[in-house]
Amino acid sequence: MQIRNELNRLLQLPIETPIKLTNANLSDFRIYGDPRLDEFVSTPRQADILRAFIATEAIANAPEVVSIDRRIDAQQRSLTATKRVRYIPDVTLSSEFSEIFNDSGSLVEQDQIEGWSVGVQFSLPLFQGRRLDAERAQAAIELERLELERLQLVDQIEANTRSAVLQASASKRNIRFANDAAIASSKTLELIVDAYTRGAAADIDVIDAQNAALTAQLSSANANYQFLLDLVDVQRQAGFFAFFANRSTQDDWFRRLDTFSEKSQVGADQ
């Protein structure tokens, strides 16, 4: 019940709302369970294209990349400003207005005197020593640092995404092996039980066969569960969760994949 309450809290549901669980399957993942994806895992070449596409999508969707791109833009503007400071003057505009309504202490009484002035001042940093050069060099070094940080970030995102896709592919293959083992152990159990009824097998043989069949069934269930976890990790790395994709979003995703595949094929042929 505590796990149920925690899950309801995360889902923003009433804390003690009953939860009915069903067996998860690949069709729950929309895009990754779509038959249109089968052609992109049929050959090693197509699988390479799929991994490259998902990595490209991950980089485009990563908020970290968007953040550092904006920092780079700001630093570029800062560097441009330090370069222009030598020949773009600082302009200061000043004005003053005064009015005396009555000056009774003067020799000549004046009822109202008005005065005003306007001034414009231009200044250029002609004698700043090496300060401007140092500021410009510092801005250039900071820009280079941010660009290198972005390259490292992009490489890390691509590596993590490709690794997640490879892990999910391996997990999917393990499902078939685990299912085959479960089927084989079930058939073995049937043979042992049949032999036991004919007196050709001992009790311990039946128990061992039952344990082996149960272990194989648990391994099959765990293989499915691990694949779904790895598939969730792929979506997290890519920054796009297929759970919430409607039909138009799915179609748009596959159009981008087809376009990426065509460009990759053309590039490989050249």
Percent of the chain with pLDDT over 70: 84
Q: Is residue 15 part of a domain?
A: no
Q: Is residue 245 part of a domain?
A: yes
Least trusted range by pLDDT, from 105-109, 136-140, 264-268? 105-109
12-32 tens-digit pLDDT:
889 988 888 777 666 666 788
Segment 238-263 shows an average pLDDT of 88
Distance CA 143, CA 81 (A): 13
Residue 243 has pLDDT above 80, yes or no: no
Structural domain boundaries enclosing 95: 88-123
Q: Decide which of 20 and 230 is more confident.
A: 230
Mean of the per-residue pLDDT values for the chain? 85
Q: Is residue 9 part of a domain?
A: no
Instruction: Tell which of 100, 123, 146 closes a domain.
Output: 123
Q: Is residue 3 part of a domain?
A: no
113-167 tens-digit pLDDT:
566 777 777 676 666 657 777 888 899 999 999 999 999 999 999 999 999 999 9
Q: Is residue 225 part of a domain?
A: yes
Instruction: Tell which of 102, 123, 144 closes a domain.
Output: 123
Q: Are residues 207 and 77 in the same domain?
A: yes
Exposure b/e, 182-218, CB count within 10 A at least 16 = b: beebeeebeebeeeeeeeebeeeebeebeebbeebbe
173-199 tens-digit pLDDT:
899 999 999 999 999 999 999 999 988
Q: Are residues 66 and 112 in the same domain?
A: no
Contacts 24+ apart (CB under 8 A), 86-92: 86/124, 86/125, 86/132, 87/124, 89/122, 89/123, 89/124, 90/122, 90/123, 90/124, 91/120, 91/121, 91/122, 92/120, 92/121, 92/122, 92/123
Q: Is residue 4 part of a domain?
A: no
Q: Are residues 149 and 66 in the same domain?
A: yes
- Residue 267 has a pLDDT of 63
Q: Are residues 226 and 253 in the same domain?
A: yes
Q: Is residue 5 part of a domain?
A: no
Q: Decide which of 91 and 222 is more confident.
A: 222
Q: Are residues 57 and 136 in the same domain?
A: yes
Number of domains in the chain: 2
**Terminal Cα distance for the chain, rounded:** 61
Q: Are residues 51 and 106 in the same domain?
A: no
Distance CA 219, CA 175 (A): 9
Distance CA 123, CA 85 (A): 11
Tokens of 225: 């569960």
For 107-250, list the strands marked E by DSSP.
113-123
63-102 tens-digit pLDDT:
999 999 999 999 999 998 887 776 666 778 777 776 655 5
- Residue 111 has a pLDDT of 53
Q: 10 Å Cβ neighbour count for 19?
A: 12
- Residue 128 has a pLDDT of 62
Element (H, E) at 256: helix 247-269
Q: Are residues 171 and 111 in the same domain?
A: no
- Residue 88 has a pLDDT of 66
Q: Which residues contact 40 (CB under 8 A, 6 or more apart)?
A: 46, 47, 49, 50, 257, 261
Give the domain CATH number at 74: 1.20.1600.10
- Residue 124 has a pLDDT of 65
Distance CA 270, CA 268 (A): 6
Q: Are 165 and 234 in contact (CB under 8 A)?
A: yes
